[in-house]
A and B are shown apart, each in its own frame.
Chain A
Amino acid sequence: MTLLQSIKNYVRSKSIHVSYVDVGSCNGCDIEVLACLAPRYDIEQYGIYVHNNPREADILLVIGAYTPGWEEKLEMVWNKIPEPKVAIAIGNCPISGCLFNRPHTYIDPPVSKHIPIAASVPGCPPRPTEILNAVLSLAPVVFKDYEVKKR
């Protein structure tokens, strides 16, 4: 491994840029993600920055049960994120549809049918700690030696 690569690995594990998208949830998980930003959990001290623009992000937090309005649009958001990138499903909804997954509803879970999901955080809603631990444990692993793996 070259020196440049090891520097990149270090930087990518210490500076993680996150963008979140709500594809039709009840807002419970959104509130838990926003609680991560607040002083109690304070994700910026771990080097996680939240953007609203997917072009600036490395990690996409997908929240919600995938309503029909998000067909093609979620994939558009996913394609805008520069490589290397991963998506994390937050809450039960992107995994199973949770309580919304009943007969005669229009939702289309799981989200992993539409974009590749690297990790999922179960819970309705998950604790901010669980979200934080998922991001912190995933980022150094998936972004490590990205240029070497690509070749």
Chain B
Amino acid sequence: MKSVLYYIKEFARREWFSKFFTARTAPLESPPYFRDFPVLSGKTCTHSLFCMMACPAPGAIDVLRTPQGWQPRIHKGHCIRCGLCVEACPNGVLTSGRILDSTGRDGTALSFSFKIRVDPELCMGCGNCAVACPVNKVIDTQMSHGGRASNEGLLLRVNEGKCLVVHEEKCTGCKTCEHHCPNEAITVARLLEAVQAGEEMQ
């Protein structure tokens, strides 16, 4: 009898009962390494738009001009948190989880390259592509109607009645030439490659 009383006194405590009936864990929080919606890391955006080119979800990312300069903006409800924009950005403007840490440690990156193809049977040599190209506009501000210019540094120019791609490596992948071609003769392919620094050295 004495031992029963002892047990009741020892174990039937108020805290035990209150915990027994109201036990509940606080809702779990996302861990710090969770790849959440990308946020600005504070670095300067150079408006290369690789984030928008890499994004697989329609309408998820825009690069807007703000008083502080160009800024990428993520649209919740469209973004699928894949993190490709974070990896594709050459400047590390966006950050999410530990993507930037792991890409910095392993030396991995997503690199874009652009291939311009001109169909010689469709091309009429009108020069709209060469005149519209924003890279050409910087190199030769005096470029005339028709796209015939003697400057050797141009990306595109018209040579002997056909469009000629001179410096493909200067292409920024904006596809302005594609949109201005009346005959759908010129196409720009955006190639996205995953590269690792160690592999290139071998």
Q: Which of A40, A122, A133 has the most CB of B within 10 A?
A: A122
Number of interface residues of B (CB under 8 A): 19
Task: Report whether B81 and A123 are in contact in the complex, using a CB–CB cutoff of 8 Å.
Answer: yes
> Chain A, interface size: which category?
20 to 34
Question: Which A residues, 96 to 148, have Cβ-Cβ distances below 8 Å to chain B?
Answer: 96, 98-99, 101-102, 120, 122-124, 127-130, 132-133, 136
A96–B58 Cα distance when bound, in Å, is: 9
Docked-complex contact A129 and B79, CB < 8 angstroms:
no
User: Which residues of A have CB within 8 Å of B76?
Assistant: 122
Query: Across the interface, do B80 and A95 meet the contact criterion of CB distance under 8 Å?
Result: no
With contact pairs A92-B77, A122-B79, A123-B81 given, residues A99 and B25 touching in the complex (Cβ less than 8 Å) = no
Contact assessment for B23 and A45 in the assembled complex, using a CB-CB cutoff below 8 Å: yes
Output the least CB separation between A87 and chain B (Å): 16
C-alpha gap A132/B29 in the complex (Å): 11
- Whether B58 and A122, one on each chain, are in contact in the complex, defined by CB atoms closer than 8 angstroms, is no
Cβ-based interface call for A41 (8 A) = yes
Asked if B27 and A95 make an inter-chain contact with CB atoms under 8 angstroms apart, the answer reads: no
Q: Is the CB of B57 within 8 A of A45?
A: no
Q: State whether the Cβ of A10 lies closer than 8 Å to any Cβ in chain B.
A: no
Q: Given A99-B56, A102-B58, is A120 in contact with B28 using a C-beta cutoff of 8 Å?
A: no
Indicate if the CB atoms of B58 and A120 lie closer than 8 Å. Answer: no
Contact status A132-B58, CB under 8 Å: no
- Chain B CB within 10 A, most for which of A40, A46, A102, A127: A127
Complex alpha-carbon distance, A129 and B29, angstroms: 7
Question: Contact: A124 with B81, CB < 8 Å?
Answer: yes
Query: Could you tell me which B residues sit within 8 Å of A by CB distance?
Result: 23-25, 27-30, 34, 37, 56-59, 76-81
Which residues from chain A sit less than 8 Å from chain B, CB to CB? 40-42, 45-46, 92, 95-96, 98-99, 101-102, 120, 122-124, 127-130, 132-133, 136
Known contacts A46-B24, A92-B80, A132-B27; 14 additional CB pairs below 8 A are: A41-B28, A45-B23, A95-B77, A96-B59, A98-B57, A99-B80, A101-B58, A101-B59, A123-B80, A124-B57, A128-B28, A129-B27, A130-B30, A133-B27
